Amino acid sequence: MLRSLFAASMLAATACSADPQAGQQGAASGGKPFVETIVADFDSPWAMTFLPDRRMLVTEKDGRLLLVSADGKSRATIATFKVASAGQGGLMDVVLAPDFAASKRVYLSWSEAGQGGNGVVLARGTLAGAAGAERLGNVETLFRAMPFVAGDGHYSGRIAFSPDRRFLFFTNGDRQKFDPAQDPKATLGKVLRLTLDGKPAPGNPLAAKGFHPAVWSYGHRNLLGIAFDASGDLWEQEMGPKGGDEVNLIQPGRNYGWPKASNGSHYDGRDIPDHAPGDGFEPPMVWWNPVISPGGLMIYSGAMFPQWKGDAFIGGLSSQALVRVDLDGTNARKGDQWDMGARIREVEQGPEGAIYLLEDGQRGSAGRMIKLTAR
């Protein structure tokens, strides 16, 4: 089944006022074990994170970073970025620095135009200003994927910090170019391990073998989710081609096979060898065919849904679903898949243990933030 990719070059309008739909609530339906409450509506939101005071930072595809009140009723644009927003490009992830309480630093990713084409970048800025009048300033680019190439797909750009708070993991997609995922000199199709300043981290496992010194693992396609569990294991999910979406347990120095192995096929019907024992590639822990088109990834640690503590939650794009994966140590198996009626781009855990979703569309057209609470 061919998946729906992002809408090309979506229009977006500045969102600066209270949302008339905020607070709209409906009972759980279809046997869902949660109640859905609409918190706000955005223009093609991509990612979100919570500040210590429960306000939220939200990125919108065409380059706006929004500071949103805890109840979703007010927002302000606190930074804008010049992004390459065609196709799958735009302003992407937003994550607080491990020492945010002291440094006020915020890490972001976006796609930009440069020599040779487009690529994904990692940046950070500082949230400053009086309460209610904050801006993100001192923005500096820390890392650029290499090489920049033509096209507007498979940027990836997800960010996660190691449990010891010393390192940053950053995903670079294969940019729909296939071979760079196996190219040791490119960062495309890789999980990278960097210092907090965006430099290749010392001790990365493949540097001595001639790889780019930032590479942690390789052979990936479009890595749109990455997160550590409570035991310090690193999980990643990525879109397969025609079939073969994956959840992977990321191990240092390992080759995850793309494009030499996949449990899916090329879009034109050409076969790709499936993962098989002894092929030299790390197989996925969980995979889907038909696809779910995985978006964001979150590993739940809250108290509101104790039955799901330690499990992974994935946003489904073409599947228009919220997907749960049951994690048990370093083992994983499929759990629930709930129909949400819209493309789910991001999944995040709220301070109170609720689960927050961002839909993928434009404001007024399935671009909402939805809060899920226990029934």
Q: What is the 3-state secondary structure (H, E, C) of 169-191?
A: EEEECCCCCCHHHHCCCCCCCEE
Q: For 87, how many CA atoms within 13 A lie in the half-sphere containing its CB?
A: 15
CA 363 to mean position of chain CA atoms? 20
State the maximum Cα–Cα separation within the chain, in Å, rounded to a whole number. 59
Give which of 31, 22, 34, 21 is closest to 353, Cα–Cα: 34
Q: Quote the CA–CA distance of 214 and 207 in Å, as a whole number.
A: 8
Residues tagged active-site: 154
- Cα distances (Å, whole numbers) of residue 112 to 81, 123, 127, 151, 169: 9, 12, 22, 11, 20
Question: Could you tell me if residue 180 is left (phi over 0), alpha (psi between -120 and 50 degrees) or otherwise beta?
Answer: alpha
CB 90 within 8 A of CB 62: yes
- Cα distances (Å, whole numbers) of residue 17 to 21, 69, 247: 12, 11, 38
Where does 63-197 have alpha helices with state H? 100-103
Q: For 252, how many CA atoms within 13 A lie in the half-sphere containing its CB?
A: 10
Cα distance from N-terminal residue to C-terminal residue, the chain: 34
- Cα distances (Å, whole numbers) of residue 217 to 51, 141, 184: 31, 23, 10
Q: Whats the size of the chain, residue-wise? A: 375
Give which of 40, 36, 72, 38 is closest to 375, Cα–Cα: 36
Give which of 61, 95, 57 is closest to 78, Cα–Cα: 57
Give which of 343, 338, 345 is closest to 322, Cα–Cα: 338
